[in-house]
Amino acid sequence: MTIEDAGEVHIGDYVTMGPNCLLTTIAHPRSTRQRRQRLAQAKRVEIGNDVCLGAGVTVLAGVKIGDNVVVEAGAVVAQDLPANGVFAGIPAGKSMIWPMIADKCQLVV
């Protein structure tokens, strides 16, 4: 796991992350002028409780991930994810609602 922490990173309780996850707080500007001036912004990343990030997940600057969330391997989280869901893809989008899969999941302590 790699954390680029120019800004604050909050990781909740009981969070698991697969190999090669990236959390970045660095947001690069989209305008040519600002990029030429090397103006980047640091934005907080927040990961809630009981979150599972699969292998190779990238979480971009300024994102908040709610509680009880699973992010499938290889996903790119570019905007906030609400609590209680399973998300996949680039950019990450909802693939299941948590109660639909809750009975299939086991908590390993």
pLDDT at 99: 53
In tens, the pLDDT along 52-65 reads 999 999 999 999 99
Please name the residues in contact with 67: beta carbons below 8 A apart, sequence gap of 6 or more.
12, 48, 49, 50, 51, 83, 84
Please name the residues in contact with 51: beta carbons below 8 A apart, sequence gap of 6 or more.
12, 14, 15, 16, 65, 67, 68, 69, 70, 71
pLDDT at 97: 54
In tens, the pLDDT along 3-41 reads 988 899 999 999 999 999 999 999 988 888 888 888 888
User: Rounded to the nearest 5 degrees, what angle is found at the Cα of 9, between the Cα atoms of 84 and 85?
Assistant: 10
C-alpha separations of 71 from 1, 3, 31, 40, 42 in Å: 15, 17, 30, 27, 23
Task: Indicate which residue of 2, 5, 8, 28 is catalytic.
Answer: 28
Reply yes or no on whether 28 is catalytic. yes
**Which of 78, 9, 21, 91 is CA-nearest to residue 52?**
21
Q: Over 80: is that where the pLDDT of 45 sits?
A: yes
